[in-house]
Amino acid sequence: MIFVDTNVFYSVLVKTEFSLAARNIIMMPSKLATSATVLNELVFISLRKLCKERYGTKSYTEFRKIIASKGYEPFRDDMDLIFKLIEERDIIVLPVNNDLEDWKKVMIMYKLLPNDAMIVSTCLLHEIKEIATFDNDFIRVEPLKRISIIASLAISKIASVNIFNLNACVFA
């Protein structure tokens, strides 16, 4: 089983320099997993970007004001696409490791930011040995093998569409 990090999902949904590799990772025949931590980051980052594009928000406070006044309705279709990607690819959403000592130990041992440490401790709890990510911080995590570029897979099952008013991709 391979754990999929936020930046891989984001690069499938939004055109980035990593989009081709991200699509190849998502199309791998392996079982894929993620966590609520990753989904939280993905939705937050995506909605912040959309809010900036649609309403000109520049700060977290401005973003919060838009959500407080308009709710998620202006982003409903975008959120549906995010969750559709997870559901259609049948990606397992694992429970996070709630052991605070494990989380703290991983943060300190591998010098990771809190969310990355939560991801690593969750992988270790579920005995996952591979992580698909473009984040170089995970190189320091010896128990995990980092998968970042898989070039040998065919991309014919993926169709380009316009998501978030950007060039993006989802399953056909």
pLDDT recorded at residue 148: 66
Q: Is the pTM of this model over 0.95?
A: no
Residues 126-168 pLDDT 10s = 999 999 999 999 999 999 999 865 432 333 334 344 343 334 4
List, in order of start, the domains of the chain with CATH numbers.
2-171 (3.40.50.1010)
Average predicted confidence (pLDDT) for the chain: 87
Rounded Cα distance, 54 and 12, in Å: 21
Kindly give the residue spans of alpha helices, DSSP state H, lying in 4-154.
Answer: 6-13, 19-26, 36-55, 60-70, 76-88, 100-110, 114-125
Query: Which residues are bridge partners to 34 per DSSP?
Result: 93
Amino acid at site 78: D
Residues 66-108 pLDDT 10s = 999 999 999 999 999 999 999 999 999 999 999 999 999 999 9
